[in-house]
Amino acid sequence: MRIEALPFPYEFELKSTALVLIDMQRDFIEPGGFGETLGNDVSLLEAIVPATKAALEAWREAGGLVVHTREAHSPDLSDCPPAKRNRGNPTLRIGDEGPMGRILVAGEPGNQIIDALAPVDGEIVIDKPGKGAFYATGLHELLQQRGITHLLFGGVTTEVCVQTSMREANDRGYDGLLLEDCTESYFPAFKTATLAMIRAQGGIVGWTAPSAALLAALNSAA
Ligand code: TIU
């Protein structure tokens, strides 16, 4: 299959490609979670939900592997270093009790993926303590076991967890493409810059394309 992408078309096979949705959890997208405690306007992120849902549903329909990640710490915070917990000047820190339970802690209501994109049976769900999806998770091994070489990315936020995950993926040998309208930042200028830096220098990190280009590729293959 081929997606019309930048900086040039992206070639992939369905059986060796996974859709990876980064941290589409209530903590970042709904009021009262980690994103808002950091001082961000979380309403910006909601805008990508319809396009992300359409891409997810089309990918499921085609039979492609889906991976969801959540930024999540263990309840004892043993996987949350002071360099992360003490950063910024948040109203609530990681592990503090908020309106959706303890901030960024596994199992709490705020840590769940939003209903519209909830995982279904057979999909991989990765809890990650860092920004990148590969750091301190078994994701690389799970993908290798399944023969995955190509990754389509969506999720939040573009320049933090999504970009870190794409760079980690590239260093591990994956060809990555970011779905432009399925990712968002609290800072629109950072999203624009991130898309540009991913595909600059001949795709130094990977490719970008609108989700319509993925849907068109899936339609023409069907
Ligand atoms: N703050 C921010 O933009 N993002 C994060 O802290 N985590 C993710 O991007 N998931």
Q: What is the CA radius of gyration of the chain?
A: 17
Q: At what angle do helices 211-221 and 49-62 cross, to 10 degrees?
A: 20
Report the chain's mean pLDDT, rounded to a whole number: 97
Residue 88 has pLDDT above 80, yes or no: no
> If you measure from the C-alpha of residue 161 to the centroid of ligand 1, how many angstroms do you get, rounded to a whole number?
6
Is 48 a residue whose pLDDT tops 80?
A: yes
> What's the rounded Cα separation, in Å, for the pair 200 and 126?
29
Q: Identify the pLDDT of residue 194.
A: 98
Among candidates 118, 133, 202, 122, which has minimal Cα distance to 164?
Answer: 133
The catalytic position among 27, 80, 131, 161 is 161
- Model-wide pTM > 0.95: yes
> Catalytic site residue 23?
yes
- Cβ distance 209 to 3 under 8 Å? yes
Q: Count the residues in the chain.
A: 222
Q: Tokens at residue 27, please?
A: 């903590």
Average pLDDT over residues 128-137: 98
Residue nearest to atom 1 of ligand 1 (CA): 35
Reply yes or no on whether 128 is catalytic.
yes
Task: Check pocket membership of 71 for ligand 1, CB cut-off 6 A.
Answer: yes
Report the nearest atom of ligand 1 relative to the CA of 23.
10
Q: Which residue has the higher pLDDT, 108 or 87?
A: 108
* Angle between the N-to-C axes of helices 188-203 and 163-171, in degrees from 0 to 180, rounded to the nearest 10: 20
